[in-house]
Structure 1
Amino acid sequence: MVDAQQVRTIVGVIGNVISFGLFLSPVPMFWRIIKKESVEEFQPYPYVFTVMNCMLWIFYGLPIVHKDSLLVTTINGVGLGIEAIYIGIFLYYCGDKKNFRRNIGLYLVAEIIGVVAVVLITLYAFKNYKTDFAKQTFVGVICDVFNIAMYASPCLVIKKVWTTKSVEYMPFWLSLISFLNAICWTAYSLLYKIDLYVLISNGLGTFLCAIQLAVYAKFYKSTPKGGSGKPSEIEISGTEKV
């Protein structure tokens, strides 16, 4: 008989597969950059931001912070490697864009310092606590802030959609996959042992993605056909959420 822990593992594996799809969603954009040998007007910052998110969730899923969350660590470890490749492509094809490489480098250094600080505070400031609750709270709240921000990022285009009555720049597939991803990880957080911090960010993420899909459904028919065909910056910045 399948118990709750086994069901949780199965749901977590499904969540890993969906999250992996989210990580790969920007591949067409990067293939375009490689073919044209130019980053054009695309921006690297969503991917730089995702590096921070992945590093934090990798740490959160380790047994020293949260037991029974190895699947959170594994998918974000894979995601970190994929994001590193994306950033490498940006750095290689950015040409002579002023301060481009320097800014990316500074952001990455700042993120590494930030994550190291979180790790050190977690390991040393909370080492005398008898339970892992304090560690989970400290790291989990920080992870949730970044995760919620990433779920909310496609909502930035809603005002434009509402004004123009057009979903030309609405990231439908990103919103749909994010919605499925959020539902899956919400279910994962509720099974066997409730993981409050995975639940908070993904529960709210489910709501935010549902809003995005509702707006898309409302204005899909009023969208002029034959748009420019150029993906919006928001649409091609789909990144992983856990």
Structure 2
Amino acid sequence: MTAQNKPIELYFFPTPNGYKISAMLEELGVPYDLRIIHIGKGDQFTPEFLSVSPNNKIPAIVDPEGPDGVSISVFESGAILKYLATKFGKFYPTDQRSQVAVDEWLFWQVGGFGPMLGQNHHFALYAPEKIEYAINRYRDETHRLYGVLNKQLDGRDYIVGDFSIADLASIGWARGWERQGMDIKDFPNVAAWIERVSERPGTKAGLALTLESGERVDLTKDVNAKAVLFGQRAR
């Protein structure tokens, strides 16, 4: 495993996407500095953060010991997971056939399991108007995706054989099954997998990161936070 002398800077907020990278870094056991980007207060729009993450989203990292020893910034959670896995040689296979399998489920998460569950959260929890069609649309798609994952996990401890970045990508989202309106009893393989992954020491530590009590904002009620998070257009 590659040695890491200088800490990696992790730009983070305790969301399912943020937890992907905190869990990964804890699993790797490499040093990192936590930089809280309070998305309810608009920290994601500062020039300093946009220079690291031009899409104004967390997570992002800066690795001062990047390729050829030159600092590199990486945004988008899937890209960060692949970068870290490749650099440190862990949680990503070395043979091409197995890499394809992990990539399939990584991209399944970033292209569907995250965005669809996120829309579920938005219309069920945050939207000022409760639009029944939208709530049902995304709740049904959430249910379908849990079914896909449940089938994949049949007879497997992890999504693709060994523990990998595919598991780290999905665990933060899957833990929110209750607020997504799911009955986890419908998906016993997913339930067992959630418990199994969440109890890994590294993942458990990464998922435990949170804000100081004075920094917490109820995004379902805070009008100012909602104005910052929702309805943004090109700047």
- TM-score normalized by structure 1? 0.33
Work out which structure has the larger RCO, using CA pairs closer than 8 Å and 6 or more positions apart in sequence.
1
More strand by share: 2
Q: Which has the higher helix share?
A: 1
Larger radius of gyration: 1
